[in-house]
Amino acid sequence: MKINVVKRVLNANDLVAQDNRKKFKQAQVLAVNFISSPGSGKTTLLEKTIQKLLPDEKSIALVGDLQTTRDAERLAPGALQATQINTGMSCHLYANQVADALKTLPLAKADYLFIENVGNMVCPGEFDLGENLKVVLLSIPEGDDKVAKYPTIFRAADLVLITKIDLMGALSFDLKRIQDDLAKLNANVPLIQLSSLKGDGMVPWIQWLKAQRRKGIGAQAKFVTEE
Amino acid sequence: MHEMSIAQGMIEQIEKIAQDYDAIRVTKVEIETGILRQVIADVMQTAFQAVSEGTLAEGSLLELREVPALAECRKCKMSFEPEIDNFLCPQCHLADVKILQGDEIILKSMECDSKEKKETHEN
Ligand SMILES: Nc1nc2c(ncn2[C@@H]2O[C@H](COP(=O)(O)OP(=O)(O)OP(=O)(O)O)[C@@H](O)[C@H]2O)c(=O)[nH]1
Ligand SMILES: [Mg+2]
Ligand SMILES: [Zn+2]
């Protein structure tokens, strides 16, 4: 017997991600997935961001790393809760790891859930966690050819953050090249340049985030499997 | 290795459908993979073999066809085939698209042995 199916294959991960997204909506939390290479400044930016949002808005941080609980310890001071997920061999977070963490997170009390993915520009883009937005970071020392080298993640980005701009003078980095490459992939994606160290660019970043929270609750990140 | 995760989801769907049709064994599975998903055929075959073990689809043949990408410009509605690093509309020179095809994995058909007659036949 031949059965004609013609059905979209939902990978097991997507089903859990959809469920996570429902929970975020119920709790009126904006969930943001931070993706970048190792060391682009995700944790440093989150440390500053969580503090800047206080006292009006409260955040939960969920950090994926292969090893150590260092990043969660760094984020704990200002966060409602900071939880580390050690992924062991896996170079990205899975939706079910987020789902497990949600069981112990005070989601109802939070305004934002910041998920710091494992440092990697490829695999995290393939795995929907249920986030509402993807923020992709690219730091000045990484070089200005990275958008062209990792097009898929930049195409899926809701915001591109150029980080460590205090190093702009010391290294040759052509911002125009980044903008041109992005324009080929994702015409309307906003780009913000910032330095978590010096504080430049923090104002537009926080403004963007707050605006997203107002309009983005329940939204679906780009190109994820639709519900 | 996102193929493993895709294969897992696929097997769950396959088993459910097979049960709905009272099938006792799945012999062949036909899927289409969108090129933007960057599924590697060999890796997919291995992953499918691994996750189908002990299920109704154990030992079944996986037939895989790659589907090219198709994008539609949100501005002028023209559809075109994008490159993985270039989604610019040839008309507007703007990369603001809806993906029409090439970013999904479709379970097209399955062949099964049913309870009554154990032979396979097309319908
Ligand atoms: N100059 C400069 N250095 C920065 C800035 N932000 C972060 N750094 C430094 O960059 C290094 C890595 O920063 P992290 O915040 O740990 O980066 P990460 O992306 O969380 O790293 P992983 O979690 O390992 O992927 C640290 O030494 C930071 O002090 C910045 O704005 N300017
Ligand atoms: Mg970190
Ligand atoms: Zn157009």
Q: Consecutive sets of 10 residues in chain A, 227 residues long: mean pLDDT of each?
A: 85 87 95 97 98 97 91 94 88 93 95 96 88 97 95 95 94 94 96 98 98 82 51
Write down the domain spans for chain A.
2-215
pLDDT tens-place string over residues B57-114:
999 999 999 999 999 999 999 999 999 999 999 999 999 999 999 988 999 999 999 8
- A116-134 burial by CB neighbour count: b if 16+ within 10 A, else e? bbbbbbebbbbbbbbbbbb
Q: What pLDDT score does B6 carry? A: 83
Task: Name the pairing type of β-strands A112-116 and A30-35.
Answer: parallel
**H, E, C per residue of A168-183:** CCCCCCCHHHHHHHHH
Q: Is A21 within 8 Å of A207 (Cβ atoms)?
A: no
Q: Is A83 in the pocket of ligand 1 (CB under 6 A)?
A: no
Q: What pLDDT score does A226 carry? A: 44
pLDDT tens-place string over residues B8-30:
889 989 999 999 999 999 999 99
Q: What pLDDT score does A222 carry? A: 63
Alpha-carbon distance of A15 to A99, in angstroms, equals 11
Q: What pLDDT score does A6 carry? A: 85
**Is CATH 3.40.50.300 the right assignment for the domain spanning A2-215?**
yes
User: B49 falls in which pLDDT band (50, 70, 90)?
Assistant: very high
Q: Do B106 and A9 touch (CB under 8 A)?
A: yes
Q: What pLDDT score does A28 carry? A: 94
Q: How would you class A183 by CB atoms within 10 Å of its CB: exposed for 0-12, middle for 13-18, buried for 19 or more?
A: middle
Alpha-carbon torsion (A130, A35, A84, A27), positive or negative: negative
Q: How would you class A161 by CB atoms within 10 Å of its CB: exposed for 0-12, middle for 13-18, buried for 19 or more?
A: buried
The protein residue whose alpha carbon is closest to atom 12 in ligand 1 is A39
CA distance A147 to chain B (A): 9
pTM over 0.95, yes/no: no
Q: Is B94 within 8 Å of B102 (Cβ atoms)?
A: no
Give chain A positions within 8 Å (CB) of B116.
Answer: none
Q: What pLDDT score does B9 carry? A: 82
Alpha-carbon distance of A179 to A163, in angstroms, equals 15
Alpha-carbon distance of A30 to A216, in angstroms, equals 7
